[in-house]
Amino acid sequence: MRPGGSPTLDEVARVAGVSRATASRAINGGQRVSAHAQSSVDAAVRSLGYVPNPAARSLVTRRTDSIAVVVPEPDDRVFSDPFFARTLRGVNRVLGEVDIQLVLLLARPGASSERTLRYLTNRHVDGAIVVSHHRDDGLAEQLMRLDLPCVFGGRPWSGGDRVTYVDIDNTAGEREATQVLIDRGCQRIGTIAGPSDMTAAEDRLAGWRQAMSAAGLRDDALEHGDFTEDGGQRAAEALMAAHPDLDGLVVASDLMASGALKVLAASGRRVPDDVAVVGYDDLGVAERTTPALTTVRQPVEEMTERATRLLLEQIDGRSAGRPMRVIIPPTLIRRDSA
Amino acid sequence: MRPGGSPTLDEVARVAGVSRATASRAINGGQRVSAHAQSSVDAAVRSLGYVPNPAARSLVTRRTDSIAVVVPEPDDRVFSDPFFARTLRGVNRVLGEVDIQLVLLLARPGASSERTLRYLTNRHVDGAIVVSHHRDDGLAEQLMRLDLPCVFGGRPWSGGDRVTYVDIDNTAGEREATQVLIDRGCQRIGTIAGPSDMTAAEDRLAGWRQAMSAAGLRDDALEHGDFTEDGGQRAAEALMAAHPDLDGLVVASDLMASGALKVLAASGRRVPDDVAVVGYDDLGVAERTTPALTTVRQPVEEMTERATRLLLEQIDGRSAGRPMRVIIPPTLIRRDSA
DNA sequence: GGAAGTTGTGAGAGCGCTTCCACGGAGATG
DNA sequence: CATCTCCGTGGAAGCGCTCTCACAACTTCC
């Protein structure tokens, strides 16, 4: 190892007996390079242990070969939800194929979201994937103003027609879930919906409404939770107090359903005999509750995988700039709670 | 916006009526800059919406203002474990205070671990945090050869004395957990240990052995699992078949304990009356099993938070290059299973 | 009152890389 | 045989930034 640190392109060129320009060409795909030059550059690279300096490269190419995953959520929620881990897995699966790295941007609302935006403005990354965004974060608009390649995981609140996104068909999923209860003969079906500032929650609620009205049932037994277990518990208590005659419960997330199951058990109601319950997500919680939850599986990894591919296309300029929309159907998973 | 793209330092300098050098100084902390120059640079920056180009900057400073979190695990395991999400949270909490970004490096063993190493070699990041590493990945050695600032989360298999790491006192934790069963009068205590290529698993096993021998109990009822629920289930089946007289079970992870509980329930054994069970982790699973698990809480976030701070010190050259070691005590959490 | 610091400033030299451009030589074309 | 094309090559111009260094303009000190 020479004193100055790692070897530079200059040294590679010198060792290979070619110019820096030729060495550079040989290293980057080898267009217009003779077989002889190519092989001597290859040898020099190997013997020197040369690795190109990414900063220098990206200074001139204006590419960083990294993309950001932006999670505009308070830390706590993000991390307690397996949704998040799956998301990263989906992204990484695609990135494993190309030579692009993942930068994780957790934007707590407020001060640090400004910093996140600055980071993206910087062109520190070639593109961004935004997941799990709320109504009021305004991120969609701000990102579009940057004209940074960008794909949303989950339908954004606004600008949905001018932005590329991949979503799961939450409405269809919850419709199907509700139908399970209808089919098993439930007469009085309530729902615990998610926070109304998230599109996924609103879409699921709409699905419940659709199924209920199609079956000619009343859709007035409704309570909102916050997608946490405790929230589900509180919502279930309120709901059962207001409507003690419920015999079916459609819950917008498994975690909330888990809380609801506790309430039902505590009040001596048997599941599914007295009250049948369906959850949503199937991201690891549903099979561990007592009884195991019938639920709707969200193909989260598939969603983010698709989102990532769309982003890469956008970065490469292959997508002609028109906003795409991909909607993935969810799958019903039958277990014991309904 | 001028045609060329985003504004450069040159333009800021021109607008502010100073030289590029002065503008640079004003932007970076403002040492040796007159109040007047400072304010006119500030104004120029604001009016132009200037953001420094990170590639250009890091080309000369040789800093990237980002650190890597290296996870040398097959995807699946990493993501199903809440450990991972907590880790990221710990890191991010610290990084939120300084202006440093997190690059996530998931190194699937084999081909891509070579790529990961290349990425680190590149000095694409200023330092690395390595978590959840197995015996054979040899990452410790390779990283040390790079002399890249680097901190391990969890004691590495080798080089433990030449490398900085933060660990949780797994031995003490499992000793305490075992003691709970001993104190409640269990006579025949078995254990389901983790994979023997992970230091955390081995340390916990050692803790069990210590407590057992201190109490004068036989430590021969042992089975290994793989830290998954299914693995725990299989291990529990084998263990109960070989030692039907067990009245206490020390399980090295809550997920495995959850599998074990199913086996016990299926065989008609009551928990904790017939068999008392303690888990390990308390990362969200323990409170959801039936019965809720008495377990040992791993302060994962604290661990990675500390690791991150140590890394930052190393990067800043504040740590004098000597390898530090931080050991965090775990906490016993009492619930219903023992 | 001259020597010795102190402070703010700008010119300019790179950091390591890609890429434009000009050029010589080889092969194809008339 | 002159001309046109194409290919491989190296010289050189930057990409946008930081930072050393020299310099002028002040203080401060003996």
**B contacts of A300 (beta carbons < 8 Å):** none
Interatomic CA–C1' length for residue B39 and nucleotide C3, angstroms: 35
Using the Cβ of A92 and the Cβ atoms of chain B, whether some distance falls under 8 Å is answered with: yes
Do the domain assignments include residue B2? no
Using the Cβ of B77 and the Cβ atoms of chain A, whether some distance falls under 8 Å is answered with: no
- CB proximity list for A234: less than 8 A, separation 6 or greater: A225, A259
Determine the residue among A65, A78, A101, A336 to mutate to test chain B binding: the one whose Cβ has the most chain B Cβ atoms within 10 Å: A101
CATH number of the domain that residue B289 is part of: 3.40.50.2300
Give the Cα separation of B337 and A263 in Å (integer): 21
What are the tokens at A89? 């897995």
Mean pLDDT (whole number) for A265-286 = 94
pLDDT band at A2 (very low <50, low <70, confident <90, very high): very low
Q: Are A190 and A248 in contact (CB under 8 A)?
A: yes
Are residues A212 and A153 part of one domain?
A: no
Are residues B156 and B87 part of one domain?
A: yes
**Backbone phi, then psi, for B111, in 5-degree steps?**
-50, -50
- Coil, helix or strand at residue B134: coil
Pick from B101, B118, B229: CB nearest A103: B101
What one-character DSSP code corresponds to residue A117? H
Do the domain assignments include residue A91? yes
Predicted pLDDT of residue A108:
67
Give the Cα separation of B123 and B57 in Å (integer): 14
Give the Cα separation of A54 and B254 in Å (integer): 43
Predicted pLDDT of residue B14:
92
Residue A76 region, left (φ>0) first, then alpha (ψ -120 to 50), else beta? alpha
* Strand D nucleotides where any atom sits below 7 Å of a protein CB: 7-12, 14-20
Are residues A177 and A147 part of one domain?
A: no
The interface residues of chain B toward chain A in range 8-67, judged by CB-CB distance below 8 A, are: 51-56, 58-59, 64, 66
Q: Are B15 and B50 in contact (CB under 8 A)?
A: no
Q: For chain A, what is the largest distance between any 2 Cα atoms, rounded to a whole number of angstroms? A: 86
- Coil, helix or strand at residue A190: strand
Angle B282-B287-B291 (CA atoms, 0-180°, nearest 5)? 120
What are the tokens at A298? 């969200």
Q: Which of A78-92, B171-185, B274-288 has the lowest mean pLDDT?
A: A78-92
CATH number of the domain that residue B24 is part of: 1.10.260.40
Are residues B196 and B312 part of one domain?
A: no
What one-character DSSP code corresponds to residue B216? T
Q: Read out DSSP for B7-65?
A: --HHHHHHHHTS-HHHHHHHHTT-TT--HHHHHHHHHHHHHHT----HHHHHHHH---S
What are the tokens at A193? 């919906």
Range list of β-strands (E), B127-163: 127-131, 150-153
What one-character DSSP code corresponds to residue A23? H
Cβ of B63 < 7 Å from strand C? no
Are residues B211 and B238 part of one domain?
A: yes
Q: Which of residues 2-31 of A touch strand C (CB under 7 A)?
A: 4-5, 8-10, 20-21, 24-25, 27-28
Residues whose C-beta lies under 7 Å from strand D: A 18-22, 25, 32-34, 36-37, 56, 59-60; B 4-5, 8-10, 20-21, 24-25, 27-28, 50, 52-53, 56-57, 59-61
Interatomic CA–C1' length for residue A47 and nucleotide C26, angstroms: 33
Identity of the residue numbered A272: P
Q: Which of residues 55-114 of A touch strand C (CB under 7 A)?
A: 56-57, 59-61
The CA radius of gyration of chain A, in Å to the nearest whole number, is: 26
Identity of the residue numbered A57: R
Predicted pLDDT of residue B248:
97
The total number of residues shown for chain B amounts to 338
In this predicted structure, the answer to whether residue A327 has a pLDDT above a threshold of 80 is: yes
Distances (CA, A) of A18 to A11, A45, A54, A126, B91: 10, 13, 22, 32, 45
Are residues A223 and A319 part of one domain?
A: no
pLDDT digits (tens, 9 = 90+) for A222-274: 999 998 888 999 999 999 999 999 999 999 999 999 999 999 999 999 999 99
- What is the domain extent for residue B123? 66-169+301-330
* CA pseudo-torsion sign B310, B314, B318, B323: positive
What are the tokens at A240? 């059962």
pLDDT digits (tens, 9 = 90+) for A140-175: 777 777 778 999 998 888 776 788 999 999 999 999
Pick from A86, A101, A288: CB nearest B288: A288
Do the domain assignments include residue A226? yes
Cβ of B2 < 7 Å from strand C? no
What 3 state SS string does B101-128 have? EEEEEECCCCHHHHHHHHHHHCCCCCEE
Are residues A142 and A180 part of one domain?
A: no
What one-character DSSP code corresponds to residue A281? B
Predicted pLDDT of residue B142:
79
Pick from A59, A123, A124: CB nearest B59: A59
Do the domain assignments include residue B147? yes
pLDDT digits (tens, 9 = 90+) for B177-214: 999 999 999 999 999 999 998 899 999 999 999 999 99
**A contacts of B112 (beta carbons < 8 Å):** 96
Helix extents (H) in A127-253: 139-146, 170-183, 199-214, 229-242
Quickly tell me which residue has 């433990």 as its tokens: B160
What are the tokens at B208? 């069990």
pLDDT band at A26 (very low <50, low <70, confident <90, very high): very high
Do the domain assignments include residue B158? yes
In this predicted structure, the answer to whether residue A41 has a pLDDT above a threshold of 90 is: yes
Are residues A277 and A198 part of one domain?
A: yes
Cβ of A34 < 7 Å from strand C? no
Do the domain assignments include residue B337? no
What one-character DSSP code corresponds to residue B157? S
Are residues B152 and B217 part of one domain?
A: no
Cβ of B60 < 7 Å from strand C? yes
- Shortest CA–C1' contact from A32: which nucleotide? D8
Give the Cα separation of B165 and B132 in Å (integer): 12
Do the domain assignments include residue B123? yes
Are residues B306 and B164 part of one domain?
A: yes
Using the Cβ of A100 and the Cβ atoms of chain B, whether some distance falls under 8 Å is answered with: no
Give the Cα separation of A329 and A297 in Å (integer): 9
Angle of the A9-16 helix axis to the A20-27 helix axis, nearest 10: 100
**B contacts of A82 (beta carbons < 8 Å):** 79-80, 82
**A contacts of B9 (beta carbons < 8 Å):** none
Are residues B163 and B309 part of one domain?
A: yes
Q: Are B252 and B191 in contact (CB under 8 A)?
A: yes
Q: Cβ–Cβ contacts within 10 Å for residue B172, how many? A: 18
What are the tokens at A56? 């220098």
Number of domains in chain B: 3
Q: How many helices, marked H, and strands, marked E, lie in chain B?
A: 13, 12
Are residues B175 and B164 part of one domain?
A: no
- Coil, helix or strand at residue A222: strand
Average pLDDT, chain B: 88
Return the exposure string of A286-324: e unless at least 16 CB atoms fall within 10 Å of the residue's CB, then b. bebbbebbbbbbbbbbbbbbbbbebbbbbbeeebeeebe
